[in-house]
Amino acid sequence: MNSLHTNDLRKAVEPSLQGRVAIVTGAGQGLGRAFAKAFAMAGAIPVIAERNHDKGSAVAAEIGNQAFAIHTDVADPASIDSMVAEVDRRFGRIDILVNNAGIYRAASTLQVTEDHWDAVLTINARAVFFASQAALPTMIAQKSGAIVNLASMAGKIGSANNLPYNASKAAVISITKSLALAHAPDGIRVNCVCPGFVETDMWTSVSTELGALTGVLAEEFTRRRLASVPLGRMERPEDVASVIGFLASSRAGYMTGQALSVDGGLVMH
């Protein structure tokens, strides 16, 4: 279910990013891993910015070539600054930043605690801004760069049992628009993607936690969600990677400040 489809990945990003340096946060698994692999296939140098050393190193070894992992805790601005400084020192440039790291926790509105709220907003939203802020000076100096943030369809809709998560993803959409407006004169484009029900380890958590809150098993919860997707299947990491690759490339050179839904038709606006 969580396997990466190599042929789909190869199609996801054309070999148009030769030599570009692409930082992907949270690239030790799931979507981030798919993005890093897709960038490598396009000729870019992926930087796996990952809190889990073993997972990050495994992905870098899997990709090979110039890919490398660097320990990064996106909840800690000092760790983000250190990661960006190391990438700048090693390569002298940062062409692409994908703010992918994120967490999920379900709870009804009356169950949400301050710790729950702070944890989700810190990782999912605050880190997006501070990672972007850290990379911006290098991009401004080179007068080019592409930042792609991971929002979610959750950022465009309401939810009875996901309020902090939905709020965090709505914040990502807002951060994207403000950064895009602020740094368009610097030659930097900032966009975000809004996936739907993606087959990753995070979906396992989503289906388990929301299933428990709604009184059904995870398998039944997934079956019901699948039945609601107009295109008739669950989303794969490669479906998102194709759009990430497009937004990071010159093919999207006249796009900035956009929040693109990649969700099989779940949100149509």
Enumerate the active-site residues.
165
Sign for the CA dihedral angle at 148, 118, 174, 130 comes to negative
Non-local (6+) Cβ contacts of 240 within 8 A are: 31, 34, 35, 193, 195, 198, 262
Distance between CA atoms of 153 and 140, rounded to whole angstroms? 30
Answer for the pair 267, 153: CB distance below 8 angstroms, yes or no: yes
Query: Can you count the helices (H) and strands (E) in the chain?
Result: 10, 7
Q: Determine contact, residues 134/175, Cβ cutoff 8 Å.
A: no
Other CB atoms within a 10 A radius of the CB of residue 223 amount to: 12
Q: Where are the alpha helices (DSSP H) in the chain?
A: 6-12, 30-41, 53-63, 77-91, 114-121, 127-142, 163-183, 201-214, 218-227, 237-248
